[in-house]
Structure 1
Amino acid sequence: GMVACICVLGVAWLGDTFVSGHTKEIKDFASQTISQYPALLAVVFFLAAMLLYSQAATAKAITPTVVAALGISAANPDNAYMLVASFAAVSALFVLPTYPTLLGAVQMDDTGTTRIGKWVFNHSFFIPGVLAIVFSVAFGFAVCGIF
């Protein structure tokens, strides 16, 4: 029980402290990247979700910046499809092996097959999670192209 408390509270505190200290830089990076390379919207969502540990926090922090960078408005909704197609990338909570649910899964696995490797990105959830996001974003762009 104490391991769970430390994982949940410690990780949330660490993530909030880091992001609160660098919110301006994260928004500036998103705005500059999207204004120069609109096709990287999913990558920006992915990187922000890694740091923010929340889909809602990522959408709240990055979407207004992205909307302004892409020039989306009620009068000019041309690039709005990119937001819809790329939104699946805000599910990158699993990338850093510090998310409490991921740590809980590793802790509760008695077989030893769910583990965190020697490197930061070397864990059991990385490849399946990244593939799911890549396929979801690709499917989103394909469906947006149809409609």
Structure 2
Amino acid sequence: MIGDKARRDGAPRGRPAARAARRPPWKVNGSPTSADMINTAIAINSLKDSQTAATVLRAYDFTVAVNHTNSDSTLVPSDGSTPQIDWDPNLAHQVYSADYKAGIQSPAMALAHEIAHVLGMDENQATAFETQIALELGEPTRGNYQLVTQEKIYVENSTEHSANG
């Protein structure tokens, strides 16, 4: 037998990462590639290493629409339907800390920022939420919402980042 068909002992076949990418615990819209699905799984699983993010990820439903449009945004419908996050899994952001030290935040951190909007936070609150998660995960922080450049930084791995300094 091949793929995810059960072995004689009942255990599923195939690599766990591939199975997780096909059946993630969140919803993904659009036509993401298998690489997009894996990068989304990696990002969300890395965010779970933060107590702040893990609590939210267990409590809220959202849909991630993977895009490659060089931007991230969130739509929270007023009718109570599931919020949708448009997210580029390869877009990192150059940020500046409160003392103006440069660093590169991962696409996963951008996803955390957009998740904050699902919770109803404005930009400043979302940046504070993102900062708490960044501190817990050892990623660079930005001093406020405006301390990010418009320069596009592309990465292969959705958790790739560098430290402030």
TM-score interval (norm. to shorter): under 0.3
Q: TM-score, normalised by structure 1?
A: 0.26
Q: TM-score under structure 2 normalisation? A: 0.24
The structure showing larger relative contact order (alpha-carbon pairs under 8 Å, at least 6 residues apart) is: 1
